[in-house]
Chain A
Amino acid sequence: MTAVANQPEAEVKTRATPEQRRATVIGVVLILLGVFVFWAFGLGVESGSTSTFNLSLPGERFTGLTWEVNSQWLAFVVAAILAFLGGWVLRRSHVHWTNLALAIGLGLFALAFLTWAASDGSFNLTGMIRSTVILSVPVTLGALTGLMCERVAVINIAIEGQLLTSAFVGTIVGSAFGIWVGLIGAMLTGALLGAVLAVLAIRFRIDQIIAGVVINIFALGLTSFLARRVLADAQDLNAPGRFTPFKIPFLGDIPIVGQIFFNHNLFVYATFILVIVLHFGLFYTRWGLRSRSVGEHPEAADTVGINVYRTRYRNVILGGLIAGFGGAFLTLAQVSRFEENLTAGIGFIGLAAMIFGRWMPLGVLGAGLVFGFARALQQKLGVLGTPIPSEFLSMTPYIVTIIVVAGVVGRARPPAADGQPYIKD
């Protein structure tokens, strides 16, 4: 946080600062949410009805864990907490806690909603959160790719194309030589496209959005062309195996938490580790400081002897490796088969998650989890059969994103030199 927001914070102000105005808005929103929960989810269910959450998945060591809760009481408790959080945020001295309060508030709101949806029924909560974690992986990896590039001031709108192409190459190479080779092939493909973007943006100084759009079109065209012309005739090239989940000893046997976090395939663990490594790397190492300086003020970086071009090439290509890893996740872990336009916009959601996460790895992970939750909700709610049409539930995450981007999180500040080519004198 300190690394990005470096403007001095004035303590004494007669007029409300933008942060305080934002806090006021969020406070009011939280209170309104509380009222809504009280009315819709509390008074809207019959008193005495219970919601049953299954907390264990089949095949786990501890089975049959359930949590029965009185639907109405839970809604009332959540409404009270929401109102309290709203009041807390409205006090100006607590301005720094607004984002945390909002996150807790939205989480509780989601819980109240699920309780309402599952009243007089049962719902597998652990399975839902587990799906959230898995589905957040490609979005997070895509967003990390964008972050790696934009921290050195190269706009990468080609994440979608990188994911798609590397998923394709991962499928073919994985089918021919095994999944590990497929994974390497996919990562190299992502890096190759990253290198293409870097050359177009840095060497030829093409407008970076044009370069990204071109790579996306090229990727979609080439993979669809090859899928129809080659894969259609050679089905055995479209059947790589898949990376199966493996349980981490001891940790994986913890009830609930073990299933959610410690019983996944390689990609999920790697994503979490990567987020932490990148966050540490960007903000606490020499590499990170140099990268950020190239993104914020390339002239100054150059003056102190940092090679701007080399830093940009390196980070964009490293970002490509991450995108390749994400592409491999799609075809070597999630499904083990390539289809035309398999990514279907994940790269663009990754782009939004990067901005949503304010160009910080941990923020990106949070944004990725929000989108993952949304997609998991979409998949699971069909089972419950709520009166709300599924289309409206499906569009909720996108509406939430707009609201969040439109100022609830505050105006995010991109790296200062973002998108500008550097011309060395």
Chain B
Amino acid sequence: MTDQRPPTDPYWGQWFARVTGVGSSVGQAIVVPALALLTALLIGGLIIALTDLDTLSLWGEDPWEAFKQTIGGIFDAYRALFVGSVGSPKAISETLFTATPLIFAGLAVAIGFQAGLFNIGVNGQMHIGGMAALWVGFTFALPAFVHIPLALLAAIIGGGIWAGIAGLLKARTGAHEVITTIMLNFIALFLVDYFLKTSLFQQPGRNDPISEAVAPSAQFPTIFERLSIGFILALLAVWFCWWLLYRSTIGFEFRAVGFNPDGGRYAGMNVAWVYVAVMAVSGAMAGLAGSNQILGLEPYRGISNFAGAIGFDAIALALLGRSNPVGVLFAGLLFGALRAGGREMQGAAQIPIDLVLVLQALIIVLIAAPELVRAIYRIKTPEQELETTISTGWGG
């Protein structure tokens, strides 16, 4: 799964390969993503221009004025995107705050990819893990240094079990994880709606699905503005996943099975067990992402569909980070910046935040197909093609 390409620059290349596992030279690792970002922003600008109906009608009458307004509109939008993501300490804290659940969820998908499993069910695992953390969060009264770890443990177990079901089904019956995890997403969504209306979770005196608030001792302490220790936990999770995948025996088995299940079997690995373990670890990360949505942000309550679309953004993140924990971290920061900036863009320049999704899609496709970027900018093709293969069909 990791790209094994001989680095062209011995010192930096090896360092980079060791740290990121991307296995490409620095130039390759920086230039293509940078050009991809640039290209995506250019196309995004074009979309902004083409959808500005007032200015479009001006082109016939006064092309120069229309041109100025179009450029001005794009400039305003991107300035807001920039200011809102890295323009001030508060903006940077927003970026990191937004990136936190994305990093956890991205790790969940990435670990699955490393073992050749496509965990599309991060959404459901976030819900189950988040509900477990929520229950611990408002049920007990404990000092914070016990309460928070306990809630996190509940999230890990909840998410791990929910994903483990899919792993177990794959190991025992061969049921494809894409189907089972999609189905488990829907089931989790309905379970959350149900439990939020039971006396176990529901805020007394309410009829709608909303839970009691988490006790202050279980809420993540904030560092700056909305940025909480959740981000530090995410960094720890990145380190843990990197260690697990590249430094532990279990991680070696994960990657070996992902590379070739039959090879792993002949080497004496219990492939069925590896599937369950991979899904459990993946689900644990997803559970942590869910706990961050409960313990790490206002209103510190469970609401219907609290995981939102993070579970699906996570797939894009893992692809962008080439299934490498450190890559996921950077991808998460990029997406966090785009989201935080997108909110500012929506507020200040009246450009709907959904443009960020378009930018994300363009960035991923351009990075996944370096040929496209090279074709656009006439860059010479390196001798060895960098290829990622994640899907090997449904047969698994």
Question: Could you tell me which A residues sit within 8 Å of B by CB distance?
Answer: 153, 155, 200, 204-211, 213-218, 220-222, 224-226, 228-230, 233-234, 340, 345, 348-349, 351-352, 355-356, 389, 391-392, 394-395, 398-399, 401-402, 405-407, 411, 413-414, 416-420
Contact = CB atoms under 8 A, between A and B. Distances in A.
Interface stretch (B138-146, B179-187, B273-281, B293-301): B179-187
B187 A229 contact: no
Given A217-B316, A395-B190, A225 B358 contact: yes
Contacts of B352: 224-225, 228-229
Contacts of A205: 387
Contacts of B51: 225-226, 229-230
8 contacts: A210-B364, A210-B368, A211-B368, A217-B312, A217-B360, A217-B361, A229-B51, A394-B190
Contact of B315 (A213, A228, A413): A213
Ranked nearest first, the 4 interchain pairs of A and B with the lowest CB-CB distance are: A221-B357, A218-B361, A224-B354, A418-B393
A138 to B, nearest CB: 16
A351 B178 contact: yes
Interface stretch (B61-69, B167-175, B221-229, B245-253): B167-175
Contacts of A411: 173-174
B176 interface: yes
Contact of B390 (A153, A207, A226, A355): A207
A395 B191 contact: yes
A407 B316 CA distance: 30
Contact of B358 (A209, A218, A389, A402): A218
B76 interface: no
B38 interface: no
Contacts of A200: 365, 369
A391 B361 contact: no
B394 A418 contact: yes
A414 B175 contact: no
B42 interface: no
B362 A218 contact: yes
Contacts of A348: 120, 182
B355 A406 contact: no
B361 A214 contact: yes
B319 interface: yes
B393 A221 contact: no
B80 to A, nearest CB: 15
A416 B176 CA distance: 15
Interface string B349-393: 001101111111110110011011000000000000001111111
A418 B396 CA distance: 11
Given A217-B364, A225-B354, A228-B354, A399 B392 contact: no
> From DSSP, what is the main secondary structure of chain A's interface residues?
helix
B243 interface: no
A417 B395 CA distance: 10
A146 to B, nearest CB: 11
B232 interface: no
Contact of A221 (B173, B351, B356): B356
B391 A217 contact: no
A206 B368 contact: yes
Given A221-B356, A398-B187, A406-B169, A207 B388 contact: yes
B59 interface: no
Contact of A230 (B53, B173, B191, B364): B53
Contact of A391 (B180, B190, B355, B393): B190
A22 B173 CA distance: 11
B180 A406 contact: yes
Interface residues of B, number: 53
B393 A414 contact: yes
A233 to B, nearest CB: 7
A155 B176 contact: no
A398 B368 CA distance: 33
A406 B168 CA distance: 10
Given A217-B316, A218-B358, 8 more contacts: A214-B316, A220-B354, A222-B47, A222-B358, A229-B51, A229-B351, A398-B184, A402-B179
Interface string B250-269: 00000000000000000000
B118 interface: yes
A419 B391 contact: yes
Given A226-B51, A406-B180, A214 B368 contact: yes
A153 B362 CA distance: 25
A402 B354 CA distance: 33
B319 A210 contact: yes
B378 to A, nearest CB: 17
Residue from B194, B387, B391 having most chain A Cβ neighbours under 10 A: B391
A204 B386 CA distance: 12
A352 B354 contact: no
A217 B320 CA distance: 13
B365 A211 contact: yes
A407 B187 contact: no
A225 B358 CA distance: 9
Contact of B186 (A153, A226, A398): A398
Given A229-B51, A402-B183, A418-B395, A210 B388 contact: yes
Contact of B183 (A389, A392, A398): A398
Contacts of A218: 357-358, 361-362, 365
Contacts of A217: 312, 316, 357, 360-361, 364
Contacts of A216: 312
Contacts of A208: 391
A348 B124 CA distance: 14
A228 B357 CA distance: 14
A221 B339 CA distance: 13
A221 B358 contact: yes
A26 B10 CA distance: 61
Contacts of B175: 402, 405-407
Interface in B297-315: 312, 315
B369 A206 contact: yes
Given A209-B118, A402-B169, A204 B372 contact: yes
A207 B391 contact: yes
A414 B390 CA distance: 17
A204 B182 contact: no
Interface string B30-55: 00000000000000000100010100
Nearest to B319: A210
A225 B357 CA distance: 9
A403 to B, nearest CB: 9
Nearest to B194: A391
A213 B319 contact: yes
A211 B120 CA distance: 15
Given A200-B365, A204-B371, A224-B352, A209 B169 contact: no
A206 B369 CA distance: 6
Given A209-B390, A402-B175, A391 B354 contact: no
Nearest to B352: A228
B193 A221 contact: no
